[in-house]
Amino acid sequence: MRILLVTGKGGVGKTTVAASTAIAAADAGHRTLITSTDPAHSLADALAVSLGSEPSQVVPGLDAEQIDTQRQLEKYWGAIRRQLMDVLDWGGAGGIEAEEFLVFPGMDELFALLEVNHRARSGAYDVIVVDCAPTAETLRLLSLPEVLSWYFEKVLPTERRLMKAARPILSRVTDLPLPQDEVFTAAQSVFDSIEGVKELMSDPGVTSARLVVNPEKMVIDEARRTYSYLGLFGYGVDGVVVNRVLPQEVADPYFERWRAIQKGHLQAIDDAFADVPRLHLRLFDDEMVGIDRLRFMAGELYDDLDPITDFSARHPFRIIDGDGEISMELDIAFVDKSEIDVYRSGHELYIQVGPYRRSFILPDALRRREVGRARLDGGTLTVSFSDPDAGS
């Protein structure tokens, strides 16, 4: 089973790259599904077909869907939302305003990700290609399983125990609608689904990201940051697609300056992403919309390569045990040490890179050890752990 996350800055052509990749995967014999976590769906437009909330066949071996987030909202959030609505109604708020208040930022993307987990575990597909939202939304989406898992593990069991003990007393002194067990059961179901997402997404043998860039400075800068933040959350990148490269046959003097600019940016891409395959797509003289054009695009992009099995990602997180010292290694290229903060709290190690923070639950082998030092070298952060009893 493979899950391929296709992402990039808005407007770089990631939807057409995702769609052409899915067609190429199906043509290579993989049972393939393409779906989208972008609330502004454009997948149906790219494929030039009608899509619904259930997978439908686009070509032999390829199904596609556009996830109905309202349907997923009711499936995963219905019981919890009804409880919160009762509380808001009790407090004097209700109607459309309360409905809007209970749809939190990021919920659309989260429920789309839970649906990807459901499809991946159905056994119906070998490959799921995910047309992700632009990078900022995608990074928020991919960090959600880690963040919400921490919340559910820390808070949900305690709240459930407290409410079970307090409900008989509170029901005598207030008419505030109190959460019943079905609400906590619904929350537990969401938690279990999030854990399923984490299990799939944390395995680079299953899930990898493919970045789409244009040879433009702002796009490349954002791709570097995305590469770093993906590494922080444990997602490996298996390739970079450089889209809209001026073809050699464009000889008009008007484009000579652009060609020179692109040449410098292409070299910058090669230097920055030397550790992963880089594929080029020319700027086509037509709109690449519809199955036939996307299949032609896939042929130029992948040639004789299998778009799935010929690409792999390295796990950005490793534990190294050698010479009596245990270290954690995390690949986070393109960051300066001034952007990194590392600290420990109890059995968790926190690493912050820029605006993003991730907590690592320390394995038993490291819990009794003390954090020695953290160093950044060649795009790899190494955190060493020392044995407090070693010198006694």
- The confidence score (pLDDT) of residue 158 equals 46
- The confidence score (pLDDT) of residue 174 equals 46
CATH fold group of domain 317-386 = Immunoglobulin-like (2.60.40)
- The confidence score (pLDDT) of residue 263 equals 94
Confidence of residue 179 (pLDDT cuts 50, 70, 90): very low
Q: Which of 79-93, 203-217, 261-275 bottoms out in mean pLDDT, i.e. has the lowest?
A: 79-93
SS3 category, 34: strand
- The confidence score (pLDDT) of residue 97 equals 46
Q: Which of 248-252, 306-310, 378-382 bottoms out in mean pLDDT, i.e. has the lowest?
A: 248-252
- The confidence score (pLDDT) of residue 149 equals 58
| Residue with more model confidence, 78 or 363 | 363
Neighbouring-strand partners of residue 342: 351
- The confidence score (pLDDT) of residue 57 equals 96
- The confidence score (pLDDT) of residue 183 equals 53
CA 194 remoteness from chain centre: 13
Contact 149, 191 (CB under 8 A): yes
Mean pLDDT of 14-22: 97
Mean pLDDT of 331-348: 91
pTM: 0.82
- The confidence score (pLDDT) of residue 13 equals 95
pLDDT digits (tens, 9 = 90+) for 30-71: 999 999 877 677 899 999 999 988 899 999 999 999 877 667
Contact 206, 89 (CB under 8 A): no
- The confidence score (pLDDT) of residue 101 equals 44
Cα distance between residue 384 and residue 392, in whole Å: 19
- The confidence score (pLDDT) of residue 159 equals 45
The structural domains of the chain, with segments of one domain joined by +, span 1-315, 317-386
Report the amino acid identity of residue 137: E
Confidence of residue 105 (pLDDT cuts 50, 70, 90): low
CA 282 remoteness from chain centre: 27
Confidence of residue 357 (pLDDT cuts 50, 70, 90): confident
pLDDT digits (tens, 9 = 90+) for 293-303: 999 999 999 99
The structural architecture, per CATH, of the domain 1-315 is 3-Layer(aba) Sandwich (3.40)
Mean pLDDT of 218-241: 92
Cα distance between residue 200 and residue 3, in whole Å: 8
- The confidence score (pLDDT) of residue 160 equals 44
- The confidence score (pLDDT) of residue 126 equals 98
Is pLDDT above 90 for 76? no
Burial of 285 (0-12, 13-18, 19+ CB in 10 A): exposed
Confidence of residue 72 (pLDDT cuts 50, 70, 90): low
SS3 category, 131: strand
What letter would DSSP give residue 215?
S
| Residue with more model confidence, 201 or 351 | 351
User: What's the whole-number average pLDDT of the chain?
Assistant: 81
| Residue with more model confidence, 39 or 220 | 220
Cα distance between residue 64 and residue 49, in whole Å: 10
Q: Which of 127-131, 264-268, 345-349 bottoms out in mean pLDDT, i.e. has the lowest?
A: 345-349
Is pLDDT above 60 for 102? no
